[in-house]
Structure 1
Amino acid sequence: MLLGMLSGLMPGLVHAEKADREKPIELEADSVQVNDAKKTSTYVGNVILTQGTLIIKGDKLVVREDKEGFQHSTSYGNPTTFKQKRDGKNEYMEGSGQRIEYDGRMDKVQLFTKAWVKRGEDIVHGDYIMYDANAEYAEVISGGSQSATPATPNGRVRAVIQPKKKPATEGAPAADTP
């Protein structure tokens, strides 16, 4: 059940707004350094990345392109956050950590330190959250008592999963019908 929840929680992956991948990436920051030789760009200061419904905010964002043209990014902040609309639903995924890494080749997202991911009313907290879309594998790890937060005072992994809403029975009378 937790794996199913996490697969729906992670950004830019299985349930994210599919049209976002076709949208241009817009970046805002106080400054940027571009190194064409190393194929890296480093954005610093109140960084905001927008691509369709995806919004990532942080203090610093490093984007690297590998030899095959895949994008890899690392966002840093205190915290760094993301928010993205779920595909075909009027619902958003959002999350936070001190660092968020995305591997475009492996389609893998990792959130580090005081991490949490939320979809609707479901939420998971941990010191490390990883989702690998290709392997359909998720992992949440606690950092023990040294990683305690107000949401996880003992530093343990914590998840809150709401019960599924049952569909209304067709043809059944309304509750206030005599």
Structure 2
Amino acid sequence: MINKTLWALLFSLCAFTAQAQNKDFVEPVSVNSDNFDGSVKEKKLIYIGNVVVKQGSLLIKADRLEVDSSAGQGKEVFIAFGSPAVYSQLLDGDKPIQAMANEIKYDVASRVLTLTGKAEINQSGSLVKSEKIQYDLEKQKLNAESGKDTERVTTIFTPEKK
């Protein structure tokens, strides 16, 4: 019974397939790590050490990954930690996106990435650096905030090559 419940939790990682328009989200999720700890009762999973998450072109590399599925299927929250944690994916239209931060939080229900701590996001040759960046994957909207008075949001635009 416990094995079946753990598998159900692992398959809940795929719950956002119905909302996604990207073909990646119909692919199975593969999580590899050095160690795994999970609570069936609390619906929380923790992966530690050389964590690699793959789903189609989606790739997350981290030192630690926490998955909270207590809110129900399709409402999972993934939090990757690293120095830095790294996220990459090909979005619709083959637009590659790369992001890195000390913490990368992905809220499945809202499809929002929140990057915290030395956050960087790079898409289509443009780069944004900040202490905190929120990126709505569906609407492709970005919000960046500085952390301290001396830190600023930096954006670098790369001109289109002809």
| TM-score normalised per structure 2 | 0.79
| Structure of greater relative contact order (alpha carbons < 8 Å, 6+ residues apart) | 1
8 A Cα contact 1:115 1:127, kept in partner: yes
Match of 2:157 among 155, 158, 161: 161
Report deviation, 1:84: 0.7
* Larger Rg computed on CA atoms: 1
Match of 1:85 among 76, 85, 90: 90
**5+ long unaligned stretches in structure 1:** 1-11, 146-153, 167-178
**2:36 is matched with which residue?**
32
> Which amino acid letter does the alignment assign opposite residue 156 of structure 2?
V
Who is 2:48 aligned against? 44
Q: 1:137 to 1:63 in 2, by over 3 A?
A: same
In the alignment, structure 1 residue 107 sits paired with structure 2 residue 108: no
1:27-70 residue CA offsets vs partner (Å, 9 max, x unmatched)? 11000011111111100001000000000000000011134312
**CA shift for structure 1 position 17:** 7.5
- Structure 1 residues 93 and 128, CA, compared in 2 at 3 Å: closer, same or farther? same
Whole-angstrom CA distance in 2 between matches of 1:44 and 1:68: 23
In structure 2, C-alpha distance between the alignment counterparts of 1:135 and 1:86, rounded to whole Å: 12
Q: What is residue 144 of structure 1 aligned with on the other side?
A: 148
Separation in structure 1 between the aligned mates of residue 124 and residue 40 of structure 2, nearest angstrom: 40
Q: For residue 97 of structure 1, what is the amino acid of its counterpart?
A: A
Q: Percent identity?
A: 27
C-alpha separation between the residues in 2 aligned to 1:65 and 1:54? 20
> Paired residue for 1:98?
102
Report deviation, 1:136.
Answer: 6.5
TM score, norm. by length of structure 1? 0.72
Aligned to 1:7: none
Q: In structure 2, what residue type is equivalent to 1:140? A: A
> Which amino acid letter does the alignment assign opposite residue 110 of structure 2?
M
